[in-house]
Amino acid sequence: MSKNNRRQFFQKAVLATGASLFAPALTWAGDGEQKKTIKPKRLVAGDTIALMAPAGAVFNDEAIQKASQAIEAMGFRVKLGQTLYKKSGYFAGDDAFRAKELQDFLMDKNIAGIVAIRGGWGCARLLPHLDFTLFADTPKVLSGFSDITTLLLAFYKQMGYVTFHGPVGNSTWEGFTTQQFLSIARDAQTPTLKCPPDAPHTTITSGTAEGILLGGNLTVLCSLLGTPFSPDYAGAILFLEETEEEPYAIDRLLTQLELSGQLAHVRGIVFGKCTKCDPEEPEKSFSLAQVLEQKLKPVGVPVFTGAPFGHTKDKWTLPLGIQARIDATAGTITLLESAVL
Q: How far apart are CA 305 and CA 195, in angstroms?
A: 10
As to burial, measured by CB atoms within 10 angstroms (0-12 exposed, 13-18 middle, 19+ buried), residue 259 is exposed
Q: How far apart are CA 303 and CA 333, in angstroms?
A: 11
Strands 323-327 vs 332-335: parallel, antiparallel or unpaired: antiparallel
Q: How far apart are CA 151 and CA 313, in angstroms?
A: 22
CA 13 to chain centroid, in Å, comes to: 26
Active site residues: 146, 241, 311
Question: In DSSP terms, which residues pair with 209 in a beta bridge?
Answer: 326
Phi, psi angle pair for 70, to nearest 5°: -65, -40
Task: Concatenate the DSSP letters of all residues of 136-166 into one string.
Answer: TT---EEEE-GGGHHHHHHHHHHH-B-EEE-
As to burial, measured by CB atoms within 10 angstroms (0-12 exposed, 13-18 middle, 19+ buried), residue 137 is exposed
Residue pair 48/110 in contact (Cβ under 8 Å)? The answer is yes
- Return the CA Rg of the chain: 19
CA nearest neighbour of 320 among 202, 163, 199, 207? 163
Q: Where does the chain show beta strands of DSSP type E?
A: 48-52, 77-80, 113-116, 141-144, 163-165, 192-194, 202-205, 208-217, 236-241, 268-272, 303-307, 318-320, 323-327, 332-335
Q: What one-character DSSP code corresponds to residue 260?
A: T
Task: Concatenate the DSSP letters of all residues of 82-97 into one string.
Answer: GGGG--BTTBSS-HHH
